[in-house]
Structure 1
Amino acid sequence: MIPDILSQGQYATVYNFLSLVIASQLFTAVFLLISLPRVLPRYRQAITVAIVVCGIAAYHYFRIFDSFKDAFISKAAGGAGDYSQAVGVSFNEGYRYVDWLLTVPLLLVELIAVLALARKVQSGLLMRLVPAAALMIALGYPGEISGDNGLRGLFGLLSTIPFAYILYVLFVQLSKSLNTQPVSVRKTIGRLRFLLLLSWGVYPIAYLLPLLNISGADAWVFKQVGYSVADIVAKAVYALIIFGIAKAKSYEDNAEFAASEAAHDDVASSRR
């Protein structure tokens, strides 16, 4: 699906979206690192995992960004013309799959960790979700790199099986644990599962483009933009919501901690 030529506008669109993802992931990680003391220790594991996820994503997007710049070059002065594929250089889509293989299981770890369930329940959920997430990504990669639509469809179907299992665990088995959560965060946690589903839904759509005979430069640019937006939502936005849940649960668990945080906010406001 990698096009031979990109217009200046198409090149700039991909360039700017890749840059946006780098900034989003990097500075979300910095914010969470600075804010880590603002939640109780029992919820810091979830925030630490979120920092790691955003850090991994930022690193891989740096690699994707460099690969994109190397793969497409313009012979016009100041890059004003079309961009064609450089001889002997190809855009490496594999960086995304390495990123997803690491981060998608960790996104599920974030969710389970912030719930702070009993150890046995937490371990049981992780033993189901983490292998299924890794298998989903691993099965999707052979189809992604294949030029054969039959193989692409086969591996797409195979990767859907662990995806469906993840949805079953999140929306059926995990629902039983939501009743143990504070009322103030119960709805947010429930909606967080839909955020994952919404953001993950972009990936199979982009994956299916060749099977729908949708190709060319516009389709490729659409795929890169879709992946970029989905990664921002599934990692940076998701992490900030996890932080909000951890903070709310910290306040529910410890009134003294909540009071000290409120005092901290009042001091910060007065200095403005």
Structure 2
Amino acid sequence: MAPLPDGFSYAEWNATYNALSFGIAAMGSATIFFWLQLPNVTKNYRTALTITGIVTLIATYHYIRIFNSWSEAFTVASKDGGDYTVKLTGAPFNDGYRYVDWLLTVPLLLIELILVMKLPQAETVSLSWKLGLASALMVALGYPGEIQEALRPPCMSRWATPLLMSWPRPCLACSFGPLRLRSLQWRRVASCCLTKSWGVAS
């Protein structure tokens, strides 16, 4: 865990506190909404929507843990009715929760993207494994750089190269996956129109 810098103002501490509280409420309510909508969604997309709810549930849990860790890392007090002052308590702030969250949710989001593309089963399984593992590796390799107190050349050379090698596949999937889906949808629409209008099977 990287040490927190001292000297936070009350406004800065309070903004982070409120942002984390907002995140808990947003992610928690989103989980309820997604799962309540499952009966209203076409069966083919229910697995993807279930994964969406799992992602927001995981995020809710980790936001709660980050919120608690943030609260325990500081003490906020007002002396004689004056302005609030923020001081470190000495308790560590666990910034690793973010990476644990991403380690779980990023692969799930990529798998969800693959599921809604309606690819052949073999390709769906293959891409899910490849992109899931690649994205998990990308997140895992980012954490050592996050917790370094100083950027030292040996550290950078140790982690930067494998990190840069792991991120292109997930990023390309997020960028071009929807385009491929759109192409598949247009082909299905064209095939349906030809069949209905002219009796031509493509």
TM-score under structure 2 normalisation?
0.81
State whether structure 2 residue 181 is matched by structure 1 residue 167: no
Number of residues of Structure 1 aligned to a counterpart in Structure 2: 182
| Contact 1:72/1:84 (<8 A) preserved | yes
| Contact 1:142/1:152 (<8 A) preserved | no
Task: Give the equivalent residue in structure 2 for 1:179.
Answer: 183
| Contact 1:5/1:82 (<8 A) preserved | no
> Structure 2: which amino acid aligns with 1:42?
N
> Structure 2: which amino acid aligns with 1:40?
T
CA distance in 2, matches of 1:174, 1:22: 29
Instruction: Give the secondary-structure state (helix, strand or coil) at the position aligned to 1:42.
Output: helix
Task: Give the equivalent residue in structure 1 for 2:149.
Answer: 147
Q: Which has the higher Rg, Structure 1 or Structure 2?
A: 2
| Contact 2:110/2:174 (<8 A) preserved | no
Task: Give the equivalent residue in structure 2 for 1:93.
Answer: 95
Instruction: Give the secondary-structure state (helix, strand or coil) at the position aligned to 2:87.
Output: strand
> Structure 1: which amino acid aligns with 2:64?
F
Task: Give the equivalent residue in structure 1 for 2:63.
Answer: 61
> Structure 1: which amino acid aligns with 2:86?
Y
| Contact 1:43/1:116 (<8 A) preserved | no
Q: What is the 5 A alignment of 1:6-85?
A: 6-76=8-78, 80-85=83-88
CA distance in 2, matches of 1:33, 1:166: 26
Structure number with higher helix proportion = 1
Q: After the TM superposition, list the runs of 4 or more consecutive aligned residues in structure 1 that deviate by more than 6 angstroms.
A: none
CA distance in 1, matches of 2:156, 2:61: 28
Unaligned runs of 5+ residues in structure 1 are 184-272
Q: Which has the higher contact order (CA 8 A, sep 6+)?
A: 1
Give the fraction of aligned pairs with identical amino acids, expressed as a percent. Answer: 37
Unaligned runs of 5+ residues in structure 2 are 188-202
| Contact 2:110/2:170 (<8 A) preserved | no
| Contact 2:131/2:170 (<8 A) preserved | yes
CA distance in 2, matches of 1:173, 1:37: 26
Task: Give the equivalent residue in structure 2 for 1:105.
Answer: 107
Task: Note closer, same or farther for the CA distance 1:119–1:146 as it changes in structure 2 (3 Å cut).
Answer: same
CA distance in 1, matches of 2:27, 2:148: 29
CA distance in 1, matches of 2:55, 2:177: 25
Encode CA deviations 1:218-248: one digit per residue, 9 max, x unaligned: xxxxxxxxxxxxxxxxxxxxxxxxxxxxxxx
CA distance in 2, matches of 1:167, 1:74: 41
Q: How big is the shift at 1:90?
A: 1.2
| Contact 2:31/2:54 (<8 A) preserved | yes
TM-score under structure 1 normalisation?
0.61
